[in-house]
Amino acid sequence: MKILVTGGSGFIGSHLCESLAKKHEVVCFDSLITGKKENLDGIGVEFIKRDIRKPFDAKCDLIFNLASPASPADYMGYPLETIEVNSLGMMNVLSNARKHGARVLQASTSEIYGDPLEHPQRESYFGNVNTLGPRSCYDESKRFAETLCHVYHEKYGVESIIVRIFNTYGERMRVDDGRAVPSFITQALEGKPLTVFGSGNQTRSLCYVGDLVNGMEKLAFSDMGFGAFNLGNPQEITINELAKTILELCKSKSKIVYSPLPQDDPRRRKPDISKVRKAVSWEPEVDMIEGLKRTIKWFRARGIV
């Protein structure tokens, strides 16, 4: 198959490209606003610097759309670009898919649930999102992207699978992306205090990137025509527990310090993955401790000590 991966030089996108390139012809589009071209070095992928906010014509059988800033630091730094890539960019992806009869896998996010009032979160939950908050440029544009997928399916028959990605970690995360795992690892290895926002009792469910990519591929190559699926690890951990675990794994003597919780930061995150289990028999396999060890090793190899 000929596969297009938009946003393919980012953290998750590069792992996806690497996996797909073992069996298929893969082309990566990326504007490099947050991605790194070197993430694709040596994996046999054609790279084209392109911003999907502008219409494009790319003949392909399957499109994985991962083009969007994804960490709070990134989308708060590029709010208009985030809104545009998840609206204009999503429409351009779907229009291209319609023209060439391609299937689409849209990388959505657990953030469409906002600060959830339902726990764990199921795909049927409509969310609790603040449209006027600092995270709304990402949350609301991702929700709109899902709506576009639905409309193109209903009106034009474009097949799209929506994956709502929960917290994911692993090799190739950027040191400065602002998320807990790379921040804690970097601070622990450098002997700096680990910064925990709020009380640290808020929870996250961490999925290793290899498991996530496996789930995305299983869904993309399944025989389903349209649907939304949670992808994540339902093992829940508090931010305090995560910080202490990383300190132990890094053998660090760093202390934990606390800062005010940012506005609209979700208090709990845990996916209900029963739908994807039933659909394609997907389960996360990499234990969190093992995944964190791999991630720490990768950071050490890049000079973070």
Say whether pLDDT at 301 is over 70: yes
User: Residues in the chain, how many?
Assistant: 305
3-state secondary structure of 65: strand
Could you tell me if 75 and 34 are in contact, meaning their C-beta atoms sit under 8 angstroms apart? no
User: Candidates 3.40.50.2300, 3.40.630.30, 3.40.50.970, 3.40.50.720; correct CATH number of 2-172+206-235+268-286?
Assistant: 3.40.50.720
47-71 tens-digit pLDDT: 999 999 999 999 999 999 999 999 9
pLDDT at 173: 96
Residue 169: partners with Cβ closer than 8 Å, 6 or more residues away: 179, 181, 182, 206, 207, 208, 209, 291, 292, 295
Could you tell me if 277 and 230 are in contact, meaning their C-beta atoms sit under 8 angstroms apart? no
153-209 tens-digit pLDDT: 999 999 999 999 999 999 999 998 889 999 999 999 999 999 999 999 999 999 999
Over residues 75-93, mean pLDDT: 98
3-state secondary structure of 26: strand
- In this structure, what is the dihedral angle of CA atoms 115, 248, 285, 302, given to the nearest 10 degrees? 90
Q: Which amino acid is at 295?
A: T
pLDDT at 243: 98
pTM of the predicted protein model:
0.96
Say whether pLDDT at 264 is over 90: no
Say whether pLDDT at 303 is over 90: no
pLDDT at 182: 97
Distances (CA, A) of 110 to 30, 129, 205, 216, 268: 23, 11, 11, 15, 11
pLDDT at 305: 66
What percentage of residues in the chain have a pLDDT greater than 70?
A: 100
Which residues are marked as active site?
A: 138
Over residues 131-139, mean pLDDT: 96
Say whether pLDDT at 304 is over 80: no
Domain boundaries, the chain: 2-172+206-235+268-286
